Amino acid sequence: MKRKILVTEEDLNTKSRILLAAKQEFFEKGFHGASMRSIAERAGLTTGAIYNLFENKDFIFKTLIGNTFDELLAFLVHDSELEEKQYNMKTSDLSFITEISRRKFIKIVDFFYSNWDAMKLLVCCSKGSSYEHIFDKAIRFVEEKTVEWLKRDNIKVSKQTKFFIHVMVSTYMEHLKEIFHHDLKKAQALSYAIDINGYHCAGWKQYWMSQKEY
């Protein structure tokens, strides 16, 4: 039987101080450059006080991220509106494809700004942490969803096509990360996302229209 751990109000207050100090430290120095000693100094605590509540620096980082990445992943690979709409990259009108995709981009931007701090940490500050390569997982999930969608439209997915999808999905992710690298205001991010959406949709449509069997 697991021992029940009692957390006092003082522990909760201390934890909040540590998390706030750690967030500031990670934003300024990144995970790799941050240290438990500096976090303790920012929080006005001893390193011992931090280790009483957090096993290590990575555990603090995970606590700050919470479930944000899992929520993002679920959002990227499941979209009821996209799943309900029946369209084919070869036969559907580009304006229809662009509009459906535009709606998803807007939802993604809304998610980003509702979870700004955690997303900023993931995108810009995670090097050296257990989250450093976490977007590889997102890329794989979106690739799998894309292949599934193409097969549903009776489009042959060859090895070469899978590699193309990998490159395009990776590029898509990097484009979204630019919102955080440049600290765009939400209105700027929405405008940027709509532009990128138009760019991607036109490129994907042209690719599938001209795709040959390899």
Tens-digit pLDDT profile for residues 190-203: 999 889 888 887 77
- Whether this prediction's pTM lies above 0.95 is answered by no
Q: Which of 19, 133, 10 is nearest to 69 (CA)?
A: 133
> Quick one: tokens of 116?
């700004």
Radius of gyration of the chain (CA): 21
Tens-digit pLDDT profile for residues 116-151: 999 999 999 999 999 999 999 999 988 888 888 777
